[in-house]
Amino acid sequence: MTRILVAATTNAGKLREFRRLLAAVAVEVRSLADYPGAPEVVEDGATFAANARRKAEAWARHTGEAVLADDSGLEVDALGGAPGVHSARYAGPHADDAANVAKLLAALADVPAAERGARFRCVLAVAKPDGALLLAEGTCEGRIAAAPGGGAGFGYDPVFFHPPSGRTFAALAPEAKNAVSHRARAFAALLPDLGAFLGGGG
């Protein structure tokens, strides 16, 4: 019987990325769009892990299948780890990427380059309807640039400078970014245990 894993997204682009990252696992990846009526989950946890777990567990109960959920964001050392779990709404509940980036750059206006260390963090949670849970985490270290650069990517990619690549995430080709991203590293940590976890019944 084919094992099913529901990716906690209705976004076609994100679903394609999840399927690519899960290609090494013998599993049929579906999306929440295949399960109408999925409940809204309030992401008010204090950590990325709490939010990812909350989504995975709620939607595993709804779908009756194993669900993969993620939560991720940017942590800036000079801001005590902010914006963190508030990354998507840093400049307000309806803010867009440009507003979030502008607020971040303003907050760091007087911070020298050597003190602008930051990282993207991603936590993946896989929950089964019986309550079993698998967590994995990945990070990508960098620093916040003085001004946006590059025309690709999304979110904070234009100001996230990745020293090994010598450019911002928004200036990298998608394949190059995906090879080193926090999400790719989280999947690399998850995959060795995922097959056995999904095959364990429930």
Q: How far is CA 147 from CA 9, 27, 34, in A?
A: 31, 42, 41
Backbone angles phi and psi of 29, in degrees to 5: -95, 120
Q: What is the DSSP string of 26-55?
A: --EEEEGGGSTTPPP-----SSHHHHHHHH
Nearest residue to 161 (alpha-carbon basis) of 171, 153, 152: 171
**Rounded Cα–Cα distance for residues 197 and 191 (Å):** 10
Q: Which of 70, 71, 110, 157 is catalytic?
A: 71
70 catalytic per annotation: no
**Residues forming the active site:** 71
